[in-house]
Structure 1
Amino acid sequence: MHAPDGFIDAPISAAAGLLAAGAIAVSLRGARRELDDTSRPGAAGAERTAPLAGLVAAFIFAVQMLNFPVAAGTSGHLLGGALAAILVGPYTGVLCVSVVLLMQAVLFADGGLTALGVNITTMAITTTLVAYVLFRGLVKVLPRTRRSVTAASFVAALVSVPASAVVFTLLFAVGGTTDVSLGKVAGAMVGVHVLIGLGEAVITALTVGAVVAVRPDLVHGARGLRQKLKLRVDGELVDAPDTGAEPVPAAARSPRKVWIAGLVTSLLLAGFVSFYASANPDGLEKVAADHGIDKQAEEHANADSPLADYGVKDVDDARLSGGLAGVIGVGVTVVAGTGVFWAVRRRRTSEEAEATSPAGTSV
């Protein structure tokens, strides 16, 4: 789904860039509240949520390397907007996916530099917004259980991918550089991305379900869920009686184990499993090739990057080259993402300190 330079003309690419910049500015303000939401029950605390948000970005980077087959000669990969929004919140989710797209464009020559605004609009803003609105609507009408959160995650992720394809088609309709039938492009884009959405839904639901099962307090979309103590009575699990004792606050429980497990998983996926990913073009690449859109594609400005095409330059062994590139990508993304979210959190802390200081108190 990464659009290269040349698919969309300069004016529309610039407009998409302005839209993306505005959305990121709004997300920076919203993420300050999400990362420092210690007022709600079970909040993990800003000093812990910032590294977790950085980990989410790194995990999305890793899973995006795992193209899966969806049709004859076509593959797909995770977009990640739904997953990020549900795990860390919609504003932080936009930033997570945007960090991934920036790292991919600059370091790996994946997605054009002038098309970065287009890619953020379609892959970060659209997927996150559509998925989170649908997710919140579903959890309001479904029972407040962990299964409901997982089911809502599946549906939200499924819908977010074709929604992203629709937005790209609209951008192409007003700024496409190739004279092709818009109806055929729209039908092909939506059709293949519905199939990709199924893969996105499975990955998202499995990931959200796994985290909710062990630490629901770390999942933004699972706020309010509490894990009841189970006792085995006559071979059956039953809810333990409420003793009235105050539970240990979730914020007091370190998420270090979850963070380590997530980082190790990301490194394994990017460094080893990615070698077995489908080599077929993804949905956008396939549609572009079938309809002649790729004739206007321009060579990436960073095509000679040492990590271009997810391989390490001058490393001849394909498995080693791809694995090293994946590990480097995960490492850079988790550092960059965590740095961004720490900066966001510190900005909010400094603003609150100024607001409560004597000098900032109005008379």
Structure 2
Amino acid sequence: MHVPDGFINAPVSIAAGVVAAGAVAVSLRGARRELDERTAPLAGLVAAFIFSVQMLNFPVAAGTSGHLLGGALAAVLVGPCTGVLCVSVVLLMQGLLFADGGLTALGVNVMNMAVVTVIVAYAVFRGLLRVLPDTRRSVTAAAFTGALLSVPGAAGMFTLLYALGGTTDVPVGKVFTAMVGVHVLIGIGEATITALTVGAVLAVRPDLVHGAHGLVTPLKLRVDGRLIDAPVAAPAAAAAPLAARSTKKVWATGLVTALLLAGFVSFYASASPDGLEKVAADQGIDRNVRAHAAADSPLADYGVKDVSDARLSGGLAGVIGVGATIAVGSGVFWAVRRRRADDRGTAPAAPAL
């Protein structure tokens, strides 16, 4: 759903940029509360993972594909404020390096794909957890539902921005129906990827899932042939072993997975236009689209310039993208974590990899 330059006029694009910048600023402050010495390094990895999975377009209808937006996944794994920052870093890398998503439309894309997806997904996620049992399955089910609804939510925001500043004369009702219709289907893929990823992390390290904080699965003891709940440990005693556990294996596994997805699996992604591209072509929204300012980038269109082999070119571009995203993302989250330590008047702890 990367909006190119020319879909939305300058005044609305600027206004969206201002709102998006405000949302990022608020998220920077909020992320200080969400990140600690264990999760800060993982936030950069989450951004890189989202970048890699966004390269995997999956078919959703005849001649149409979709890809992960990532707001729900990031919000559940590392928190809503950090999630906004994760997706924003991905969008910045895609726009600057790969000519994907217009630079003048960066604010529009941050609004659609980072802010709205996180707000919708996390609101649904937390609301469901209030009524569902305190189990890992509930966390996964809530993540699935939040992700499912976040994608048509982003489509609705695009329609609103188009209604305010669209550069073509297409009835808003047609745009809304087409956008929401196809993105409901894409939302199913988003929800599936989100649930599988959250479930996988929950299975090995539930303490690293922000949305599962406070989730307690009582230890069962067999007494006289009956299973009973073991006494619950004091919070400080229960938290101490988790804080001491290394995240090296999780970090390494996530990085290798992201590199494999971007460097190898992406070659087999659907070549069909994504939901927005298909709607824009069908409805004539793209009549005033402008060439991307970074169209001459050596990595434009997710290929390496002067590398003729398509498989190698795309794979190298994906690997470079993962590396750049994790470097920039980790730098941002390290700075946020350092600022939190400075606010408390303490030295920042070394990342607990």
Normalised by the size of structure 2, how large is the TM-score?
Answer: 0.93
CA distance in 1, matches of 2:57, 2:199: 22
Distance 1:276 1:256 in 2: 30
- Equivalent runs, 1:61-80 vs 2, <5 Å: 61-80=51-70
Cα gap change, 1:179 to 1:97, in 2 (>3 Å)? same
> Unmatched 5+ residue regions in structure 2?
347-353
Structure 1 pair 18–273 and aligned structure 2 pair: CA distance change class (3 A): same
Q: Which residue of 2 aligns with 1:301?
A: 293
Q: What code does the residue aligned with 1:21 have?
A: A
Verify the 8 A CA contact 1:53 1:341 in the aligned structure 2. yes
Residue of structure 2 equivalent to 1:28: 28
> SS of the counterpart of 1:75?
strand
Whether contact under 8 Å (2:57, 2:67) holds in the other structure is yes
Specify the SS of the correspondent of 1:164. Answer: helix
Maintained 8 Å contact 2:135/2:217: no
Q: AA paired with 2:5?
A: D
Pairwise mapping of residues 1-363 of structure 1 onto structure 2 (< 5 A)?
Answer: 1-35=1-35, 46-226=36-216, 241-242=230-231, 247=238, 249-353=241-345
SS at match of 2:258: helix
Query: Displacement of 1:224 after TM fit?
Result: 1.2
Measured at CA, do residues 18 and 231 of structure 1 come closer, stay the same or move farther in structure 2, by a change above 3 Å? same
How far is the alpha carbon of 1:271 from its aligned partner?
A: 0.4
**Matches of 2:233 and 2:105, distance apart in 1:** 57
Answer whether contact 2:60 2:185 (CA < 8 A) is retained: yes
SS of residue matched to 1:249:
helix
Report the AA paired with residue 254 of structure 2.
G
Question: Quick one: distance in 2 between partners of 1:195 and 1:70?
Answer: 6
- Report deviation, 1:47: 2.0
Q: What is the alpha-carbon distance in structure 2 between the residues aligned to residue 242 and residue 138 of structure 1?
A: 27
Moved over 3 A (4+): 226-233, 238-248
- In structure 2, what is the equivalent of residue 359 of structure 1? none
Given that residues 228 and 239 in structure 1 are in contact (C-alpha distance below 8 angstroms), is that contact kept between their aligned partners in structure 2?
no
CA distance in 1, matches of 2:283, 2:335: 44
Separation (CA, whole Å) in 1 of partners of 2:231 and 2:328: 44
Distance of 1:15 and 1:232 partners within structure 2: 62
Distance in 1 of aligned mates of 2:232 and 2:331: 43
Give me the whole-angstrom Cα distance separating, in 2, the residues matched to 1:55 and 1:230. Answer: 35
Task: Provide Cα deviations, 1:271-319, integer angstroms capped at 9, x if missing partner.
Answer: 0000000000000000000011111110000000000000000000000
Deviations along 1:48-67, one digit per CA (max 9) or x if unpaired, are 21110000000000000000
Give the conservation status (yes or no) of the 8 Å contact 1:144–1:225.
yes
**Contact preservation (8 Å) 2:84, 2:118:** yes
Aligned length: 342
How large is the RMSD of aligned CA atoms in angstroms?
2.0
Q: Which runs of 5+ in 1 are unaligned?
A: 36-45, 355-363
Q: How far off its partner does 1:228 sit?
A: 5.3
Decide whether aligned partners of structure 1 residues 281 and 230 sit closer, same or farther in structure 2, where only a CA change above 3 A counts. farther
Percent sequence identity is 76
Query: Do 1:216 and 1:226's aligned partners in 2 also have CA atoms closer than 8 Å?
Result: no
